Structure 1
Amino acid sequence: MGCRKHDEESGSCVCDAVTAIKKAQDEVDNNGRGDCRNNCFNSLLSPNGNNNGLDTVPFILQTKKGEYFYSVGAIGRNDCFQTIFFRVESVDEDNCCATLSMLRPDSDLDFDKCCVDPTSICDVDELERTRYCIEVDLDCFCTIQCLDPDLVGDIDHHCK
């Protein structure tokens, strides 16, 4: 269960937001335009239907304790990285679980033991898509912050 108590009718705000992000990304993938009005997605789709190649709404999640959620990609490789930036790949709306791909930041994030230093986030100028994915229970998060889709570059082609 998320931060607030909810029932099946009221849903989870983070789950609902991630589901809406996925639908916006799918709309761009399907026909390059959509009918999104939420400020989380409005810069992904331009008014004239041209998405300028943008197909990702990057976002950050925070835990119930207010800590940034992070994951590690490319474990066991020399290009291992830590990230707090994600792209939704799929959502199971019934269970509020999602597959997220990790977005690699162009600068290293500073971690103090378990937590990212928020000031290091400001040094990130670009995010690179990767093929490294994780499965998450969206009910475990209290906050989602959407970021500018212009931050995301092409997919990292050296990842397998």
Structure 2
Amino acid sequence: MGCRKHDSDAGSCVCDAVVAIKEAQDAVDDRSDCRNSCFNNLLSPTGNNNGLDTVPFVLQNKKGNYFFATGALGRDDCFQTVFFRVEKVDEKNCCATLSLLRPDNDLEFTDCCVDPESLCDIDELERTRFCIEVDLDCFCAIQCLDPNLVGDIDKHKCK
């Protein structure tokens, strides 16, 4: 269960942030002066977006655990990640399609959760075509990351 009650008229800050990220990715538009804000623009200071089209982010539940997903299940290149890119958002139901961003290093897990210290070793994220559907009301925190972390989309094609 998420942080807010489903019968609440108050919005969901995570849902609102994901909607804004999607809009920023689509428009590559200036949203804020905050360096790591979810509303930060994808443009460089020179006005050239350098091909940046992704605001990577991580999500946390109300216990503070990072949400993670597995890509390429059943294949040799299977991976786990806590890094995502929004692809589609259903604002009415606060659901989203997220693509998995593959980290350049394997994440370390302790029991059920990713070890937060292993996140500090990530230098680059690779876009993939592996996606999941999520209910954004199930998350309490979102942290946006530097768009420069994200490289080109991978060569792995979903069938």
TM over 0.5: yes
On the 8 A contact 1:129/1:155 being kept in 2, the answer is yes
The answer to whether structure 1 residue 77 and structure 2 residue 75 are counterparts is yes
TM-score (norm 2): 0.90
1:15 maps to a residue whose letter is C
Tell me what 1:115 maps to. 113
Residue 45 of structure 1 corresponds to 43
Aligned partner of 2:26 in structure 1 is: 26
In structure 2, the partner of 1:36 is 31
Q: 1:63 Cα shift?
A: 0.8
Which residue does the alignment assign to 1:62? 60
Q: In structure 1, give the amino acid aligned to 2:115.
A: D
1:53 match: secondary structure:
coil
Moved more, 38-47 or 91-100: 38-47
CA RMSD for the aligned pairs?
1.6
Aligned to 1:12: 12
| Counterparts of residues 148-159 of structure 1 (less than 5 Å) | 148-159=146-157
Q: Which residue of 2 aligns with 1:140?
A: 138
Please tell me whether the aligned partners of residues 81 and 104 of structure 1 are also in contact (alpha carbons under 8 angstroms). Answer: yes
- Which sections of structure 2, spanning at least 5 residues, go unmatched? none
Letter in 1 for 2:20: A
Checking the alignment, whether the CA contact within 8 Å between 2:30 and 2:40 is kept in structure 1 is no
Aligned-partner Cα distance in 2 for 1:13–1:137: 13
2:2–2:61 contact (8 Å) kept in structure 1: no
Structure 2 match to 1:100: 98
CA contact (8 A) 1:43 1:149 kept: no
Match of 1:31 in 2: none
C-alpha displacement of 1:4: 3.7
Could you tell which deviates more after superposition, 145-154 or 38-47? 38-47
Q: Show CA shifts across 1:55-104 (max 9, x none).
A: 00000000121100000000000000000000000000000000000000
Distance 1:61 1:158 in 2: 24
Secondary structure at the residue paired with 1:128? strand
